[in-house]
């Protein structure tokens, strides 16, 4: 039973090592949690499979979003702006106060 546990631990550790870092929370990383979980004595194959599914975006691939879902009629550019804001905030770029005040993107 120990050999199976070490194999699962190695698989989860490999997944954790390849996990991207969160730039917004440098002190709280999912990578650290997965490393701690790899050392847990009751580690199961289901936990390893779940971590791998998260890493590979399995649900996003399985359940594709339609174009109408990604571009709602009320705000067609909402998700594009959201991603743009996320990428700019990672770089430390902010919108000027006047664009925020007047609602200009």
- Note the pLDDT tens digit of each residue in 83-104: 999 999 989 898 889 988 998 8
Mean pLDDT of the chain: 91
Confidence at residue 103, expressed as pLDDT on a 0 to 100 scale = 84
How far apart CA 97 and CA 95 sit, in angstroms, is 6
What's the gap between Cα 77 and its chain centre? 22
Helix ranges (H only) for the chain are: 2-17, 30-38, 45-55, 58-62, 67-70, 78-91, 97-102
Give the model confidence (pLDDT) of 19-44 as tens digits. 999 988 889 999 999 999 999 999 99
Domain ranges of the chain: 1-64, 65-104
pTM: 0.72
């Amino acid at each position: 039973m120990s050999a199976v546990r070490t194999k699962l631990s190695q698989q989860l550790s490999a997944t954790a090592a390849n996990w991207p870092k969160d730039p917004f929370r440098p002190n709280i990383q999912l990578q650290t949690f997965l490393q701690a979980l790899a050392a847990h004595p009751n580690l199961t194959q289901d936990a390893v499979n779940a971590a791998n599914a998260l890493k590979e975006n399995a649900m996003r691939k399985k359940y594709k979003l339609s174009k109408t879902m990604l571009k709602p009629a009320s705000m067609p550019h909402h998700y594009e702006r959201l991603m743009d804001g996320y990428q700019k905030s990672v770089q430390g770029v902010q919108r000027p106060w006047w664009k925020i005040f007047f609602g200009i993107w």
